[in-house]
Structure 1
C-alpha cells in the first residue's frame, strides 16, 4: 500500500442509524490495529441520525470501550481519495470477545447458520443516489435529462466515467450503471457475493460514489427521499440460495415449485415474506423511508410476491434462458438508510426460519396491489407493509425470531434507536424531515 501512495486507512463500521462511522490510522499502525484493535466507544450503538443519542437498556452512556479490528481481506486503496485506503472492522470487547451488538458479526453468524444446513446465499445491493451541485444544503438536480435518458449520461459523462474507473480499480464487479427515474438519480448494480461481502461492498461503493462526486464539484445523497413528494432512493437487496455440498446447485431454479423454485428455495422466500413487516425496522429504518414506500411507485409497499412484479415487495427473477444460477429474489421495500449488515443478517434469519418450518408461499401476485379492493387483498392474504416507522418498530418488537437471531441486547438497542428517531421528528412537516435527513446519508 505504501508503494501506491497510501498513508492512512479509514476503518469503518455502520451504526444502528445506518450511518458509516470511521476511525483512521496511519498505514504504519495498521498491523498493530489488526492485532490489538483501535479504541472506540460503544456509545455509537445508540447514536441517532443527527448525532444525538438515546440510552437503551444495554447500551448508551459514557462508560466502556471497544476495539476495532480491521478485516484485511477487504483492504482497498480508495481511488477517489488519494493517500487513503479502507477496511471494514469487527468490533470486540476489551476481553477479546466479539461485541454482542456488532452488526457485521451478526451478519456473519447468520451466514454460518445457513452454512450448517449445507447452504449458502449470494447477495447484492442495488445502490441508488441523487446528484446535486455542491455548495448548498438545498437539492438541485445536477443534470436535466429525462428518466433513464442518455442525456444524463452525456451531461455527467466525466463523473460517471471516473466512477466506473474507480470502482473497477477497487475490484468492485460492476454489472450496470444507469440513470434512474427521479431527477438527478443514478443506480449501480454489483455482482453477488457472500452476504457479509455484499454488505462490505455496499459501504465501499457508496463512499466511492461520494468521493468521486466531491472531486467533480458535486454532492450526492442516498437518503430515502431528497425532495418531499418525489421518488426516492431505494436499496433493493437481491439474494439467491445455493447448496454448498457437491452437486448442490441453485435452490431458486430447477425445482418443481412455482417458477422453478425448489422446496428449500420456496421455504426460504416464504420465511422472508412472513417476517417482512418486522424486517422493515432493519431495511427501512428512517422516518423518511415511509415517504418513499408508497403504493404504485415501484417501491414494493405490499407484503406479497410475484414473478417480475415490480409492485410486489418480493420480486421473483428467473433469469434469462440457460442461466438457472441467475435466479434470485429482489426485496424491493428496503432503502439505503439501512445498516446493510443488520439487513442482510435479518433477511437470512427470516429465511432460515422459513426453512425450519418448511414454509409455503402464498399464490404469486401478478398485478399492482393498489389496483385491488380491500376485500380482494384480504381474500388473497395480501397486506400493506407498515405505513410508518412506528408500525415497523411494533412488528419488530413482537418478532421473536428476529429477537433470538439478533440477541436480546442488539434487538433492544435497535428498537431504542428507532423510537428515538420517531420522537426526534415527531410533529414535523415531511418537507422539514426530508431537509434534515437529506445529506446525512
Structure 2
C-alpha cells in the first residue's frame, strides 16, 4: 500500500498516532534511526536521517531540506534555473509511513521514502515522487486506469579492496555462469534473506552478462510503490555487499566498453481489474487502448531518453546489438526492440502481459521515469496513436526502406541530443510542469558540461561509483 494523499503540516490523518506507535516499537527491534530517502533530479539517492524518537515529529511537521538539491549534479556540483538552485528557501520532508520498513541489511535502521512540501504546506513542484503520484491519480480519474510496474536492477559487484576508483570484478565466472553464483553465494543468499525480511518479493536473481554483473527482478506494484521499491532494493544490495567486503555499482557503464547496467521497466495498464495487454482483439492480444498506450511511449522515446538515460555514461551503454533497445522499434519478445511486448506464460497471459521498455538505466530517477512513461502512454491513448508494423530480429540489420516503413530510427547518440529532443516535447514538459521540466533540462545540461572533453574511459570513471 502507498499513501496517496499529499502531506500536510500537522500530519496526514492517523500519521501522528502511527508514528508514535512506531517510535515506541522500533527500539525494541534494535532500530535507533530512520533513513528518509529521496532521489534527486540527477538520479542520485539522497537521505536525511532522524532518531526513532523523532519519527512522530517528522510525520507531523517534516524535516527541513533545501530546495537546492533539485539541481544537484551527480558529482555534487549545483546548477540553477529561474526558481531552483539558489541558497534561498526551505522544504519539509514527510515520511510515507505506509512504506516504512526495518532494514535487514543495515542493523539499527529503518527506511521510508519521503514527499516534499513547502514551508507553507503546498506541494513542492520539484518533488518527483509527488509528480508520479499526480500522474497516477490523473490516469485513474480521466481514463479509469491503474498500473502495475517493476524495474529490473542490474549491478556490477567489485572488490572493496580494489585501488581507489578502480573496478575489479568480485567473480571470475562466465556470463550467467554457475561459477559466479557459487563464488558469491553467501552474498546473494543474504541479499535474498534481507529482501524477504523487508517484504520485497523477489522473482529471480542471477549472474548477468558483463564482468561481475548480477540482476534481480522483483514483484510488480503500483507505480509509486514500484519506484520506492527500486530505491529500497538498491540500498539493500549496497548495504549487504558492504558487509561482505564488496562494492557495487549501478552505473550505466562501469567500464567504457562492453555491456552496461540496465534498469528495464515493465509496465502494464489495467481497467476494472482487467489487464489491457491481454485478451484484446489487436495484435498479440492487446486491446486498442493498450496498442495506443504503447504507441505513445514509442513516439516519445527520443525525448524520453533524457529521463530514462540521463547520464553521459548512459550513452556508453546505448549501443546497437547489445539488447539495450536503441531504435524506435517494438516487437513481441524481441530483446533488441526498445518497447517489447511480453505476453507471459501460457495460461497466465491475463496476469503477466506487460510492456518492457529497454533504453533505461539506473541513473534514472525512478519517479520521473515512471511518471514520464505513463504520461507518454496516456498521450498516445488520448489521440488513439497507432503502433507501426512490428520488428523482429535486430533493428540494426534493417535496410533504410524497411526501417522507414516501420518508423524505426536511432535514438539519441548523446545526452545533448536527448536534451534537444526533450526541450521540443511539449507533452513531457507539460506533464512535469515548468519547475520540474526546467530542473531536468538544467541538470542534464550540467552533466553535459561536466563531461565535456572527457573520453569514454574518463566518462565511465567519473560516474562509476556515483550510482
Alignment-derived partner of residue 222 in structure 2: 194
Within the candidate set 373, 376, 387, 2:402 is matched to 376
CA drift at 1:252: 0.2
Q: Are 2:333 and 1:305 aligned?
A: no
Which residues in structure 2 correspond to 1:119-198 (within 5 Å)? 119-135=145-161, 136=163, 137-198=165-226
Distance between the aligned counterparts of 1:281 and 1:426, measured in 2? 17
Within the alignment, does 1:21 sit opposite 2:46 as a pair? Answer: yes
Is 2:437 the counterpart of 1:437? no
Instruction: Describe the SS at the equivalent of 1:159.
Output: helix
- In the aligned structure 2, how far is the partner of 1:86 from the partner of 1:249? 33
SS state at 2:85 partner: coil
Contact 2:390 2:406 in 1 (8 A): no
Query: Equivalents in 2 of 1:134, 1:230: separation in Å?
Result: 22
Structure 2: runs of 5 or more not aligned: 1-25
Query: Is 1:403–2:432 an aligned residue pair?
Result: no
What is the distance in 2 between the residues matched to 1:58 and 1:325? 44
Aligned match for 2:382, one of 337, 347, 356: 356
Q: SS in structure 1 opposite 2:338?
A: strand
Q: Counterparts of 2:431 and 2:407 in 1: how far apart (Å)?
A: 27
Whether 1:5 and 2:5 are equivalent positions in the alignment is no
Once the two structures are superposed, residues 67-89 of structure 1 have per-residue CA deviations (whole angstroms, 9 ceiling, x without a partner) of 00000001011111110110000
Q: Distance in 2 between matches of 1:356 and 1:189?
A: 31
> Matches of residues 133-282 of structure 1 in structure 2 within 5 Å?
133-135=159-161, 136=163, 137-243=165-271, 245=272, 248-282=273-307
* Deviation at residue 375 of structure 1 after TM alignment: 3.2
Q: Give the CA deviation at 1:260.
A: 0.4
- Tell me the matched-pair count: 438
Q: CA separation in 2, counterparts of 1:250 and 1:436? A: 42
Question: Match for residue 389 of structure 1?
Answer: 415
Query: What's the TM-score, normalizing by structure 2?
Result: 0.93
Cα deviation code 1:11-43 (max 9, x no counterpart): 011000100100000001001101100000000
Give the match's secondary structure for 1:383: coil
CA displacement at 1:305 relative to structure 2: 0.3
Pair 1:103-2:131 in alignment = no
Q: Which runs of 5+ in 1 are unaligned?
A: none
Quote the Cα distance in structure 1 between the aligned partners of 2:402 and 2:343: 27
1:31 aligned to 2:56?
A: yes
1:123 partner SS: strand
Give 2:87's aligned residue. Answer: 62
RMSD over aligned CA atoms reads 0.8
Q: Assess if the C-alpha contact under 8 Å between 2:251 and 2:363 holds in 1.
A: yes
- TM-score between both structures, scaled by the size of structure 1: 0.98
Task: Deviation per CA, 1:63-117: give whole Å up to 9, x if none.
Answer: 1100000000010111111101100000000010110110000010111111111
Instruction: Return the alpha-carbon distance in structure 2 between the equivalents of residues 411 and 205 of structure 1.
Output: 27
How many angstroms does 1:380 deviate by? 2.3
Residues of 1 paired with 2:380 and 2:339: CA distance? 15
2:361 to 335, 339, 357: 335
In structure 2, what is the Cα distance between the partners aligned to 1:20 and 1:336? 11
Tell me the SS of whatever aligns to 2:59: helix
- SS, match of residue 296 in structure 1: coil
CA distance in 1, matches of 2:28, 2:400: 64
Cα offsets for 1:356-403 (capped at 9, x unmatched): 111111111012011122333123211111111011101111110111
